[in-house]
Amino acid sequence: MAATDDRRPKYQRIADSLREAIQSGEYGPGDRLPGRTTMATHGVARMTARQALGALRDEGIAEARKGRRRVRPSLPPASPARHPAAGAGPGG
């Protein structure tokens, strides 16, 4: 039984649920996450939704865009190799 989970603040439980949905692929890079208003229609207080989305933003999992719901940022390519010569051609 997850009694310890029930003791955590509701915003943390919501943030965990959204994080799991992102990690499972339910939300991909650039997809909009449910906003405060949408969550409020499902019985979540706007402030609680704001705190949950803020927690994801603070972790770098989501970003906020003015006038829009939170949007998950694009993830870097799977390969950690960078392309130092990108745009550089022969002779220059």
Contact 61, 22 (CB under 8 A): yes
pLDDT of residue 30: 83
Residue 92, pLDDT above cutoff 50? no
Residues 90 and 56: their CA atoms lie apart, in Å, by 43
Per residue in 40-88, pLDDT tens?
A: 888 889 999 999 989 998 998 888 877 666 566 655 444 344 444 444 4
pTM, whole model, 2 decimals?
A: 0.67
Among residues 89, 84, 56, which one has the least CA distance to residue 70?
A: 56
Q: Which helix (H) or strand (E) holds 17?
A: helix 10-23
CB 49 within 8 A of CB 40: yes
